[in-house]
Structure 1
């Protein structure tokens, strides 16, 4: 706890009340203070020795915090004059990427260090020749055991014989489409869905049919009507912190949809990448109708895309075999080295630590977004948010204006099966490494939303 609350007009109360290394707690306090305007460009920070004494921590910790803050472009030192809050850094070569949906850097976690130690552990316990060789598709027994451990919070105790380890969810979805449908067959979905599913279905010659919904998700009666009308056999759902709407389908609606799927003989592809990021999420549909559900859980959205690992839980061993046959047409096997690292991290607890760091960082970034976009009703969980636009903007014009202002966002048409699509954009919060740059991007987006279209013509040269 702090010994004092104010230094040079800055209230430092509660700076050491969080988890993680103390130097990072000090840095996070500075980031929040900058985001909320309590620290402004040009403000002078307390001398390091004075701050260490006031907080009751050693000088080395404060020195390390100031150094990290400078690395994050929060502060700049001016010799004998002291250390000051840095002016916003404008990057002339890159936009602020609010379009790519990936988890943020985990709070309080040194990923580079974890990566080095994890690979060292893998190489210590595994034969390097085997890591560089071909492997049977679907993952080793150790990989499937790691998958069962990772999936236990979602699905409870699992038969590892039902699990397939895949090189990412996109590959898994393509394999499932091939396994469960034939060309020109209908797949029932929400009207707004993951663009990767749209691309996969189009390239594989399947038809995606939008089923009407409300604020709680797909409507059961509409699903029943569409299943009968289209003679459909497959339903695709992304029920938890849905991409793009960030909506979570409540438990009651999930049970109703499960009942319809059972009644009409639908196989369900439950794409659930964000379940681990949600606070107290409902049980997956796979818990209600395991005999009809293929559950897909990727680590790309919960931990890091670099692991390229997703798990698919099939209804039974026979269904797993049929899926594996189709999967081999898309990908022979996951990369053994990354699979081994993923397995190592899950078994030794590293994956859980990274997940908690991502969850903490995601919550902080959602709080930043709520502060910056105060006039917009947004979700408070996950790594993205859905912004319906005011009448003065269309999604396409806002996306274009944002690009000209150095921002990348994703318009509704990228996710939509309807024409015309909703006037909304998805804003992703994890693609920007530094919180300060994220704040700059969110502030610029807020200014755009308030301003509206200018009607100015683009420069032509």
Structure 2
């Protein structure tokens, strides 16, 4: 039975429904969407509501603060708190679907951006920043790239590097430069969706190679190389997207040996190496003549820096790569490349990355605590690969989560073969507010404990 003394918009608080202040804020938002509350309605004073709910005043204060943050409430001084006219979409999504670096608490990003751009504009010729370039990066950009890659490779000849407008452009250019229409490209059964998109556009085909808890299985890779004579092998070996598996060093050496024996080339797409805890050396260190190594700033610093560095030791292959790249991306944006170079050379990039790394690990601990026995992450990186209980399919769960305002990515989005694991990827960096992220993961955890039947027939569509 409902307590008649409670306001009509507020349900009874659930013991296991997550933080009580968020239950109150969520109920208020739902009441607005459903029309139970309307702009201009006056809410109960906080003390009165706290007494009715038998919670402390702080809980209600936090709930009202959260509702104000969502632009649902407005204070009118002594007259009280009122429902605000909607300023944003009331059914805003908690986005756990996009892999982006989390904003670190101890870094003033706005100040870093202003300072970095100020230094660039003070030192550079603005005409050069706003005109065409041949592509591949300036000498300064490539030197910055060599410094960025020092943790992986030690000292590098910056002349072996190419600067690209993001890792996706690098992958596409490598496919164009090194393969022919109809060629096979080997990849793990669950791989980065951007690979599949590029392969489809360029009339190549992906063949899935079996992977286990340590990544791509060497025996299966060698068998596939001899059977299909692939143009390329694609690997994302550190905190793999989506499974978060890191290929150990002994297996990296095995894969490098197979590449040499079978004379097959590897694209080593390694965006998360600098976020990982004590990662093994890149595969490129064991077979430099067979491997094209890609490192992007988008996953370690910020997606707005569309800058990636590609290590290609052979001069002729660098030229082939640049010709392919220029067919669809004439050059990287000079201003962004100059900002990336400034940040790398003055140490700002390291400070930002340290903050991202610290924040990501904190969010992993949060996810592990909430998801308990379901969490099987590495403790670092940007995402968690969550295998589902048998009563959920990944597509069903994604639809159910979407109906509750949570976006996740189902396993089907990463499938390169005919089948896929029953899992979802949860990204931990896209939500700026840590408390909102926590609430989203808690709601997802509660959803996992329910069964699809409780949502009706819509989930089976």
Between stretches 417-426 and 344-353, larger displacement belongs to 417-426
C-alpha distance in structure 2 between counterparts of 1:266 and 1:99, whole Å: 33
Secondary structure, aligned partner of 1:109 = coil
| C-alpha separation in 2, matches of 1:327 and 1:143 | 17
Deviations 1:138-158 (A, max 9, x none): 000000000000011012211
Q: Residue 371 and residue 228 in structure 1: after superposition, are their counterparts in 2 closer, same or farther (change >3 A)?
A: same
Match of 1:405?
404
Aligned pair in 2 of structure 1 residues 91, 457: CA closer, same or farther (>3 Å)? Answer: same
Counterpart CA distance in 1 for 2:314 and 2:91 is 51
C-alpha deviations, 1:274-304, integer Å up to 9, x for none? 0000000000001111111100001111110
Q: Which residue of 2 aligns with 1:391?
A: 390
Deviations 1:80-139 (CA, angstroms, capped at 9, x unpaired): 9xxxxxxxxx97232100001111112311111111111111000011111101112100
Change in CA separation of 1:136 and 1:413 when aligned onto 2, cut-off 3 Å? same
Q: How many residues align?
A: 395
Structure 2 residue 351 is the aligned partner of structure 1 residue 353: yes
Structure 1 match to 2:43: none
Report matched runs for 1:33-432 at 5 Å: 92-379=90-377, 380-432=379-431
Distance 1:221 1:78 in 2: 70
Report the equivalent of 2:456.
456
Q: State how far apart, in whole Å, the 1-side matches of 2:91 and 2:397 are.
A: 21
Aligned mates of 2:263, 2:203 — CA distance in 1: 22
Distance 2:435 2:77 in 1: 23
Secondary structure in 2 matching 1:444: helix
Structure 1 residue matching 2:310: 3-state secondary structure: strand
- Could you give the per-residue CA deviations for residues 352-403 of structure 1, whole angstroms, max 9, x where no partner exists? 0000000011011101111111131321111101001001100010000000
2:294 is paired with a residue whose SS is: strand
Partner of 1:4: none
Aligned equivalents of 2:187 and 2:458: distance in 1? 38
Greater C-alpha radius of gyration = 2
Q: The residue matched to 1:373 in structure 2 has which SS?
A: helix
Partner of 1:435: 434
SS class of match (1:290): coil
Aligned residue for 1:306, secondary structure, equals: coil
Query: How far did 1:77 drift?
Result: 10
Q: Provide, for residues 18-46 of structure 1, a one-character-per-residue CA deviation record: whole Å limited to 9, x for no partner.
A: xxxxxxxxxxxxxxxxxx9799986567x
1:458 Cα offset (Å): 4.1
1:144-195 Cα distance to aligned partner (Å, 9 max, x none): 0000000110122111111000000011100000011000100111111000
Q: Is the 8 A contact 1:292 1:315 kept in 2?
A: no
1:60-89 CA-partner distances (Å, limit 9, x unpaired): xxxxxxx99x9799xx99999xxxxxxxxx
Write out the 4+ residue segments of structure 1 that deviate beyond 3 Å after TM superposition.
Answer: 36-45, 70-73, 76-80
* 1:33 equivalent in structure 2: none
> Helix, strand or coil: the match of 2:278?
coil
| Structure 1: gaps of 5 or more residues | 1-35, 46-66, 81-89
Secondary structure (helix, strand or coil) at the match of 2:97 reads coil
Structure 1 residues 146 and 72 mapped into 2: Cα distance closer, same or farther (>3 Å)?
A: farther
Is the CA contact (8 Å cut-off) linking 1:187 and 1:234 kept in structure 2? yes
3-state SS of paired residue (2:281): coil
Evaluate the alpha carbon distance shift between residue 289 and residue 72 of structure 1 in structure 2; reply closer, same or farther with a 3 A threshold: farther
In the aligned structure 2, how far is the partner of 1:405 from the partner of 1:72? 17
**What is the CA RMSD across the aligned residues, in angstroms?**
2.7
State the TM-score, normalized to the length of structure 2: 0.81
